[in-house]
Structure 1
Amino acid sequence: MSVVSAKTTAATPTTASSSSTRPAKPASERVPDSKILTVTLQLVPGSTVSSSSTHSVTITDSAKIAQIAGTINALPTLPSYPKTYCPMQIDGPYLVLVFRDSASGPVLAQVRLGTEPTGRCSGGVQVIVNGTVEPQLDDAAQPKLYSELMQSAGLSVR
């Protein structure tokens, strides 16, 4: 599912489970309706990305924000498995999405996801809603989510 074709919005009151073995997410774990979304590309120290690249963008288009929040909210909760040691795992680059109601308002939700979808050495999508760390989300069924969010936000890396 691409970000552009996401049908779920942040205002949808019900949650769906991706399978019968995963419970639906409660409303408290969902990205709430927001008016401002800042998307930041966090780079690995020593990255070869040029300094002319765009690294952060603020989105105020309510339809686009609802669409992105809906895509995040549609992700199922990652099952709780023991952590796997991954010696080759690199911390970054990753996207950080910060949802607010105003430029100076409190953070309503923060989402962090990496370039690789959830898998053996990827810990899932990290979510904080109203200051509470929520269970991680599973983006394995959407391997292009990172690049689609980059494109939707208008971020580029050279």
Structure 2
Amino acid sequence: MLANEYFKDFRFRSFYIEDEMVCRMLVLFFQCSVSGWVSLSIDEGVLTWTYEKTEPELRDIKDIDDEFAWPVQTANELASYIGKKITDIYEYKLEGIEEGCIGVYFECGNKGFSVLEHEGCLFLFDGVYDVAQEKILLSRLALSI
């Protein structure tokens, strides 16, 4: 499940209030070769994975006529991972805290990328995020989505 699958596409959901960006990335969506679309979010230290029943529809902020908007856009910064095989997945956890997830690392052979949470928003980091200065553990995930 997810391991040994290939990435096919990446998208993310943003959040705006009255056309002002509050969060560039609330949710990361990725399409896998077998599992289809999966969403990843991290909120208050809890990592949530969900299989999406339908493809997240691309929608630009200018196409939404509401003071609260959640547009979905292509995650161009992950384009180099399309076609890459997921060889393993790791979780960044705060040491000693049960619900202390701050991110995920996707290993794709000899390279990979991290999805990290900061102040309620997600950001991407190419490679393993340096956690040497902090009390953060990187542990292999046994996924059961």
TM-score (norm 2): 0.35
More RCO (CA 8 Å, sep 6+):
1
TM-score (norm 1): 0.33
- Where is the helix percentage greater, Structure 1 or Structure 2? 1
